[in-house]
């Protein structure tokens, strides 16, 4: 009976006691980057739960050039990102509470445990395939349009009101 209890306890605790070793896929949706050369729209997964934020792109083989992952920290905080268990290099874009790009880290090295921190609080981080921040022309001061910043509805509402004025 004691052995059965011990085995049962170990099985219940297994998810907590053993590190994760599989990718976590999150809900996704459109994200637009307003750059000086024009808007770029990609599909982004949203990591906004503690386990999603902790896992990010770990245990995946790659990320497509037209995809990304946006981390929503809720209240702005100073993040400490790292590349443990990430199989490929990426770019990181750091944004404030309004979605304004504050800093970019290009070519974050795969498997690195070095902490990547912009040195100031941010609301979100957008992870992109290696080289895509440059390919998209993303620069500090550019605007990220996404629901986590509360500006996605505003952008579509402005588009709707513009089209209504034209229709009249």
Which pLDDT score is estimated for 77? 96
Give the least confident one: 22-26, 128-132, 151-155. 151-155
Closest CA to 141 of 108, 104, 92: 104
CA pair distance 125, 77, nearest whole angstrom: 11
| 3-class DSSP state of 98 | coil
Q: Is the pTM of this model over 0.75?
A: yes
Question: How are the residues of the chain apportioned to helix, strand and coil, as percentages rounded to the nearest 5?
Answer: 25, 35, 40
pLDDT score recorded for residue 163: 43
Q: Using an 8 Å Cβ cutoff, are 126 and 31 in contact? A: yes
- Helix count and strand count (H, E) for the chain: 4, 7
Residue 23: count of CB within 10 angstroms of its CB: 13
Angle made by CA atoms 67, 69, 70, in degrees to the nearest 5: 130
Residue 140 gets which letter from DSSP?
T
Q: Which pLDDT band, with edges at 50, 70 and 90, does 20 fall under?
A: low
Query: How confident is the model over 32-90, as pLDDT tens digits?
Result: 999 999 999 999 999 999 999 999 999 999 999 999 999 999 999 999 999 999 999 99
pLDDT band at 13 (very low <50, low <70, confident <90, very high): very low
Q: What is the pLDDT of residues 132-163, one digit of tens each?
A: 999 999 999 999 999 999 999 644 444 444 44
CB 36 within 8 A of CB 142: yes
Picking from 29, 35, 25, the residue whose alpha carbon sits closest to that of residue 136 is 35
Residue-wise DSSP of 43-76: EEEEE-SHHHHHHTTTT-S---TTEEEEEEEEEE
Q: Is a pLDDT exceeding 50 seen at residue 5?
A: no
């Amino acid at each position: 009976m004691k052995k059965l209890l011990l085995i049962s306890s170990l099985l219940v605790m297994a998810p907590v006691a053993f590190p994760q070793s599989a990718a976590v896929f999150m809900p996704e949706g459109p994200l637009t980057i307003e750059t000086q050369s024009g808007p770029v729209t990609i599909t982004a997964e949203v990591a906004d739960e503690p386990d999603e934020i902790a896992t990010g792109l770990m245990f995946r083989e790659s990320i497509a050039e037209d995809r990304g992952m946006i981390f929503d920290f809720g209240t702005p905080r100073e993040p400490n990102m790292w590349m443990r268990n990430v199989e490929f290099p990426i770019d990181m874009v750091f944004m404030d509470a309004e979605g304004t790009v504050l800093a970019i880290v290009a070519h974050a090295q795969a498997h690195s445990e070095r902490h990547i921190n912009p040195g100031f609080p941010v609301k979100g981080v957008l992870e992109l395939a290696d080289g895509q921040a440059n390919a998209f022309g993303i620069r500090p001061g550019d605007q990220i349009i996404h629901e986590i910043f509360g500006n996605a509805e505003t952008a579509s509402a402005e588009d709707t009101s513009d089209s209504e004025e034209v229709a009249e």
